[in-house]
Amino acid sequence: MWFDESRLDDESALAGSDLLLRSLAESGARVRRAAGDAREAIDEALRRSEGSRPRAVIAAGPDSRLLRAVLEPWCPVPFVAWPGPALPGWAGSLDLVVILSPERSDPAAASAVAEAVRRGCQVVVACQSDSMVAEHAAGRWSTILPIVSGDQLATAVVMLDYLHRLGLGPESDADEVATALDDMAISCSPHRDIAINPAKMLAIGLADANPLVWGGSVLAARAARRVAESMRRASGRSALAGDAEHLLPVLEATRARNVFDDPFADDGGELRTVLLVLEDGSDDQVGREQRGRLLAAAESRGVRVETMAAESGSEVARYASLLLLGSYTAAYLQLALTTT
């Protein structure tokens, strides 16, 4: 398998990935549609709560960690992410259970919502109205925020809007997130050539690499894990995301690059370690210190550093931009890797 850079600007090759690239380009539209579809249901959920705050918020189901990444620094009541198919033993009628379930069939989320309904919790679920989770969510204190696309990010934005309006989280303007996604889709469009396309440039930078992906903030770290996952699926290669203390031993164990190495030797095709840093504009002391340690370790071992940046807009908009840039990069990486 080798990387054919010419395929990134070849119309016939790009046409073969049209469905995937079109889906990425429509990310902003899916967020806008989800927000519009859920508007009435959010208003109803707010009327039902009568402006009162719950004792605690429990984000249940497999996608609960994304809500935790956004809400933990802001939520004025205790917040718990509970990714398993059950609930904490103390959860009851004074607590709010929120669940993201973009998939039509999600047994773990269905089990969690059924348990919440049985205990009399306040339940708000963002899911498809004819899904398994919606069937289990029927109850006196339950509200379904309907979505159609099954897009995880669009589902999360709908729930974050509700939680913000309830006074439990930061502002998450769906239109701002959608605009950020549209802007990134334009920058990474297949019709923009390599010289001015950040995703194609990154794909080239990762052509011969096993990337180590790091994000300094909580949301950037969450995006790093999603980006690494998309790159593994696209290339079939290892891509590791983690905190600085997890990545530093890998960097320090990397064989130092020798400028006199023969690129045509038997090991010339060996994949290199590359450090991919996700920048979202956060500037806390811990993040700066960890970033400095990673860059110093990379420099000492001759490891190349690549950067993904999205530094304007709200936290969620920056997260969405990083996620989409990573998805486009993975798509172009998959397109250009060929065995012929």
pLDDT confidence of residue 266:
47
pLDDT confidence of residue 264: 47
Judge whether 133 and 106 are in contact, CB under 8 Å.
yes
d(CA 326, CA 90): 39
Phi, psi of 73, rounded to the nearest 5 degrees: -75, -10
Side chain identity at residue 161, one-letter code: D
The answer to whether 55 touches 94, Cβ cutoff 8 Å, is yes
Contacts 24+ apart (CB under 8 A), 139-146: 141/48, 141/93, 141/117, 142/113, 142/117, 143/41, 143/44, 143/45, 143/48, 144/41, 145/38, 145/41, 145/42, 145/45, 146/37, 146/38, 146/41
Tokens of 277: 């840093």
pTM of the model: 0.90
User: In this predicted structure, what is the pLDDT of residue 311?
Assistant: 80
Residue corresponding to tokens 């469009």? 189
Give the other-Cβ count within 10 Å of 79's Cβ.
20
Q: What is the pLDDT of residue 325?
A: 97
Amino acid in position 248? L
Q: Residues 6 or more apart from 19 whose CB is under 8 A from it? A: none
Q: How does strand 272-279 pair with strand 304-309?
A: parallel
State the DSSP H helix or E strand holding residue 252, giving kind and residue range, or none if neither.
helix 244-253
pLDDT reported for residue 308: 94
Residue 240's SS3 state is strand
Nearest to 116 by CA among 176, 173, 54: 54
The pLDDT value given to residue 260:
56
Query: Cβ distance 75 to 169 under 8 Å?
Result: yes
Please give the DSSP secondary-structure letter assigned to residue 36: H
Contact 142, 19 (CB under 8 A): no
Give the CA angle between residues 329, 334, 335 to the nearest 5°: 95
For the chain, the farthest-separated pair of C-alpha atoms sits apart, in whole angstroms, at: 72
Classify burial at 58, counting beta carbons within 10 Å of its beta carbon; exposed 0-12, middle 13-18, buried 19 or more: buried
- Amino acid making up residue 151: D
How confident is the model at residue 269, as a pLDDT? 58
Q: Are strands 2-3 and 337-338 parallel, antiparallel or unpaired?
A: antiparallel
User: Which stretches of the chain score pLDDT less than 50?
Assistant: 263-264, 266
3-state secondary structure of 1: coil
